[in-house]
Structure formats: C-alpha cells, structure tokens
A = this chain, B = another copy of it.
Amino acid sequence: MTRARAGVLHTPHGSIPTPVFMPVGTQGTVKGLSPRDLAEDLGVRILLANTYHLYVRPGPDLIRQLGGLHQFMSWPRGILTDSGGYQVFSLSGLRKITEDGVQFRSHLNGDLHAFTPESTVDVQLAFGSDILMALDECPEYPVGHAYAGESMRRTVRWARRAAQHHSQRMAESPTRHALFPIVQGSTFPDLRRECAAALLDLDADGYALGGLSVGEPRALSLEMVEATEGILPRGRPRYAMGVGMPAELPEYVARGVDMMDCVLPSRNARNGCLFTSQGRVTIKQARYRDDPRPLDENCGCYTCRSFSRAYLRHLFLSGEILYAVLATRHNVRRYLDIMREIRDAIVSVRYPEYLNFVRSASADAG
C-alpha cells in the first residue's frame, strides 16, 4: 500500500496527467531544446521557469509587453514559476531578509533589488504563469531547529500576504493563475507539520514542498514528505520542488507527490551523464568509443532512434552543440518515460509491485 495517486491537473494551457515531471527552463528555455522538441517529440505538458532569472533578465515588464512568457518563448502549454526565493538565497551575493521580504543583488551586474510576497506574485503574473509560487525562505542544510522554526513561520506569514495579494489581483483578472504556498521547516518533522497545518487555512490551489534536495541525506528528504502527507488536503496537488534522481521519482510518488521538477536530466546530459533504462552511461568512457548501439535500446527518442553511442561520444569529446541537444533530448525523455511508467502502474493498481521492481533494479545498477 502506497500513497501514490494519479490525477489530472487543469491549467489554462492544457490538462496535465499526474504524477508529472516538469523539465526546467531556467531562462525561458530548456537548455538545448526548442518548444517544438519539447511538445512534439517529448510530449512535455508543463515546464518550470525560474522567476529570479527571468526577473533579472530580461525582466517582467519586457515579458509582459511581449505578451507574457508563453508567447515570449513560444510555448503553448503549461508553465509553473518558482518564487525566486531559492535563487536569491543560492545565487545572489549580498542579501538581507526582513519581515517585509528580501533584498538582494543581481548576480549579473550587482544591481540592488527586493522581492516581497506581493511583488513576486506581481512578477509571476507579468509572466502569465499558470502556477505561481509564494515567496519563501529556503534555509541551507544543515540549520538549527530554532532558526528553521523562525524562518518557517516567516514563510507562512509571507504565504498569507502572497495569497491575499493574489486574491485581489485575481478579482480583477480575466485569466486564471493558481498560487501554491511552500511548506518549509528544514529537516524537522514537527516544523514541517506545523507549517503544513498553518498553510491549510489558505485553501490553496496546491501545496509545494520546498527545502528538499539541498544537501540533506535522501532518507531525510523522503521523511519530510511523509511528515506532511496526512495533513495536506488530498484534493489538491502536491509539488516536491527540485527532485530528483531517476530512482527517486517513484519514491516521492509513493509518498503522495503529484509534481516534481529538477535540472538533473538536462544538466547531467550536458555533463556527459546519461540516464537509460539499464542505468547510467558516462559517455566519455573509452568503452563507448566504437559502440554502435543506441544509447538506450528501449528508448524511442530521436537520439536513440538515430545515433550510436560512438557518435554521441565523438560529439561530446568534440564539444559540439549537437551533443547537448541530443543528450538533453534523451535524458528528458527518459524522465518522462519513467513518469509514464509510474502513472501506468498506478492506474493499473500495481504500484507496490512496480516500486519493488524499480528498487531492486536500482540496487542492481548500483
């Protein structure tokens, strides 16, 4: 018996079968993939864009002026944007947190900026996102219980302000945009539960689980998801932010998660680490020098249908752009294939068996 669930998420830009994995389009593009590749070849229904990055360049005013992010990047399907909080804390130099929000300097040119719970809603509405995140603080790992509690309670107060501002903006908006608050609380189950309970009265469109995959042990990440599984409303989607490795996706789903995103498939692709149905392939290895086989014989992506491992290795060693294009296409497809397997297993009522199978396969692959 697991908590895995299959559903459909409805957005103004299409309906999305869940559980769903969202590729990351940091700067208004999934690195190396065109919208056509994403939609037609890979069947992506929703992707994530980073509010911080698009805020500092090209900026929300420009994107709004050009018709919103969907039109700007020529992407007709769903877009979820994060709150910008995570990048402010991980990328920006000087930053200062107050009750009002966070001040930070752009990592591009050092310009001083501020995010408040209200302003990040406005920025994401300028983008025209289908799903917005409320501003949160994502503490680093490890952090003490006292600071984690203080930070989490501020995140809850920010979420209330964001929700109130969002309601006001929605009252006058012809288009619908969902807002998810973010559950924080570092690696402390009591804080996680307190946070989830406090966010319940927002009656939000969905709930995100933040502060995961920031360096904590894997077992702890999953434990944090379990901590709030029984508290969050069953009828709303739950989004585990920034996870995970291929073998982790089924684990999060088993704990009631409906949505995930991660840079891993695209970033690892560029670095030469390819995910296949038979385990990982480090493409630069000499063993692939004259390997005529496709990267993954079980994969139907363009890369696997058309090219050998030897050719991919040649492109990688030559630093060719096409390597990144083909490798990313495959890795993203691999993630989506895993999600399709997961959903099929759920709807055919054999998820526990599926989970056992992938756990043993993952253990075999090391």
Q: How far is the CA of A325 from the CA of B29 in the complex (A)?
A: 12
- Residues on the B chain within 8 Å of A345, using CB: none
**Across the interface, do B58 and A314 meet the contact criterion of CB distance under 8 Å?**
yes
**Across the interface, do A74 and B324 meet the contact criterion of CB distance under 8 Å?**
no
Tell me the minimal C-beta distance from A322 to chain B in angstroms: 4
**Among A32, A35, A322, A325, residue most surrounded by chain B Cβ atoms (within 10 Å):** A322
**Across the interface, do A29 and B289 meet the contact criterion of CB distance under 8 Å?**
no
Within 8 A of B (CB), among A349-366: none
Q: How far is the CA of A215 from the CA of B310 in the complex (A)?
A: 37
Main secondary structure of the interface of A (DSSP, over half): loop
**Across the interface, do A34 and B314 meet the contact criterion of CB distance under 8 Å?**
no
On whether A289 and B62 interact (CB within 8 A), knowing A311-B73, A321-B324, A321-B325, the answer reads: yes
Tell me the minimal C-beta distance from A162 to chain B in angstroms: 27
Within 8 A of B (CB), among A323-342: 324-326
Name A62's contact: one of B58, B65, B290, B322 (CB within 8 Å).
B290
- Residues on the B chain within 8 Å of A62, using CB: 289-290, 310
A47-68 near B? 1/0 per residue, CB < 8 Å = 0000000000110001001110
Q: How far is the CA of A308 from the CA of B28 in the complex (A)?
A: 13
**Across the interface, do B290 and A34 meet the contact criterion of CB distance under 8 Å?**
no
A276-301 near B? 1/0 per residue, CB < 8 Å = 00000000000001101000000000
**Among A57, A311, A315, A317, residue most surrounded by chain B Cβ atoms (within 10 Å):** A311
- Residues on the B chain within 8 Å of A72, using CB: 308, 310-311, 314
**Across the interface, do B290 and A66 meet the contact criterion of CB distance under 8 Å?**
yes
**Among A58, A308, A310, A315, residue most surrounded by chain B Cβ atoms (within 10 Å):** A58
On whether A27 and B318 interact (CB within 8 A), knowing A34-B325, A311-B74, the answer reads: yes
A320 at the A/B interface (Cβ < 8 Å)? yes
Tell me the minimal C-beta distance from A109 to chain B in angstroms: 12
- Residues on the B chain within 8 Å of A311, using CB: 28, 66, 72-74
- Residues on the B chain within 8 Å of A36, using CB: 302, 306
Q: Which residue of B lies closest to A314 (CB)?
A: B58
Tell me the minimal C-beta distance from A315 to chain B in angstroms: 6
Tell me the minimal C-beta distance from A60 to chain B in angstroms: 13
**Across the interface, do A34 and B321 meet the contact criterion of CB distance under 8 Å?**
no
Name A320's contact: one of B29, B65, B74, B318 (CB within 8 Å).
B29
Offer 28 A-B interface pairs, CB within 8 angstroms, sorted by A.
Answer: A27-B314, A27-B318, A28-B315, A28-B318, A29-B321, A29-B322, A31-B320, A32-B325, A33-B322, A34-B306, A34-B325, A34-B326, A36-B306, A58-B310, A62-B289, A65-B290, A66-B290, A67-B292, A72-B310, A72-B311, A72-B314, A73-B307, A73-B311, A74-B306, A74-B311, A321-B324, A321-B325, A325-B325
Which 4 A-B pairs give the minimum distances between C-beta atoms? A32-B321, A74-B306, A29-B322, A27-B318
